[in-house]
Structure 1
Amino acid sequence: MKRIAATALGAAVLTALTAFGAPAAQAADHDIVVVFSTEFQNLRVYEIPETTKCYSLPLGAHVLSNLTTKNVAIYADPFCFTLSLSVAPNSGSHVTPIAGSFRV
């Protein structure tokens, strides 16, 4: 009886790990930019399409992670006018917590 319970528990754990692991592998197929603001807010994830677009950073933004294959330009204003710095692919940077923006 103990062997059956151990086998069933092992199968349940394996199923749970497989189910929860699938979205992480799927996210790697997309170009994404992730913005961390505070410990009390969820990460903001931006799926980047092929066309260039200006994205406003959330208020309180703290760190931007570039998980794309292109450079991300960070701007000091919310309209992508005042270029501040560029973040290389698979890199990150601190950003100012006031309203800024980025473009891929």
Structure 2
Amino acid sequence: MVNPTRKDWSRKLNDALWAYRMAYKTPIGIPPYKLIYRKLCHLSVELEHKALWAIKKLNLDLDKAGKNRLLQLNELEELRNDAFDNAKIYKAMTKAFHDKRIIKKSFEPGKKA
């Protein structure tokens, strides 16, 4: 809070500007920080609080959640590997299709093509 004499406004300016940049603005629909940097600014305290709130609200077992997350990561890795294999097969088939259509030309010295 700034004193009524307003002599200490310069000490509070940085905090006030930071609060203004982080606050949600209704006319533009986003905070100015996101408008400039294209990402939201999350404070670590906010994130930690939200995580603790979610754990308490959902009564999560952290070990079970960790195992579930590892399972999800393994499934994602399998999908990525399948996509990579399918892309490799598609590339080979496309190459074979185009290679079949190549007209072979023989060049001899002294002849113009």
TM-score by length of 2: 0.28
Greater strand content: 1
Task: Return the structure number with greater relative CO, CA threshold 8 A, min gap 6.
Answer: 1
TM-score by length of 1: 0.30
